[in-house]
Amino acid sequence: MESQTYGYVRVSTREQNEDRQLIALRAFPVIESNIYIDKLSGKDFNRPRYRTMLRKLKAGDMLVIKSIDRLGRDYQEIQNQWRIITMEKKVNIAVIDMPLLNTRDSRGDLTGRFVADLVLQILSYVAQTERENIRQRQAEGIAAARARGVRFGRPRMQVPGGFEALKEKWLRGEISSREAARELTIAQDTFLRWARGQ
């Protein structure tokens, strides 16, 4: 059976637009009927279209993706999917944004696959390290801001006038917390939190 070229597109949320990836795949070219699109989070690979495509792939086929992060969100997942596709399924991969990550080499020897595997190892490691560095910089920035007295989150609601009188009535059992909250136009749990000094 003749080998086929497939394309895979992933966008993380329903709001993201897949046009950029589709334009690149069509130009490769990949025919429309062989392009699989998932609009789901990249946190795992329980993606229906990806799984369907994986079942269709056979030895000698080519999978085209716009960028390497379409395969996964971390070093281990990218490595795992790369291994399944290239080693288990014996399918070639072309990454449009990184021409070195093309396992189908015109010389017909192992050099192309070796170079692609090596580049993948380096890129995946760098991407994972950068993600970890970003998280660390964010944590350090937040800690530094807190040390300077910066407060995060919504500003605390000001206790409205009349609260103390209503609190006293509530403590004496003359009014319910729901009625007190309604008079102050605040949520009942907010009234209770203030009344209990939390």
Token pair recorded at residue 192: 């209770």
Whole-angstrom Cα distance, residue 167 to residue 181? 10
Supply the pLDDT for residue 110.
67
3-state secondary structure of 131: helix
> Which residue positions in the chain have pLDDT lower than 70?
13-15, 41-46, 105-113, 154-155, 198
Supply the pLDDT for residue 27.
95
Q: What are phi and psi of 159, to 5 degrees?
A: -70, 120
User: What's the one-letter identity of residue 151?
Assistant: R
Supply the pLDDT for residue 107.
47
Q: Which residue from 36, 104, 41, 93 is spatially nearest to 67, judged by alpha carbons?
A: 93
Supply the pLDDT for residue 151.
77
**Catalytic status, residue 176:** no
Look up the pTM and report it.
Answer: 0.60
Which residue has tokens 């989070």?
A: 41
From residue 173, alpha-carbon distances to 121, 131, 176, 179, 196 in Å are: 69, 55, 7, 12, 15
The domain segmentation of the chain, as residue ranges, is: 5-130, 163-195
Residue of 3, 12, 41, 124 with catalytic role? 12
Range 5-130 has CATH code 1.10.760.10:
no
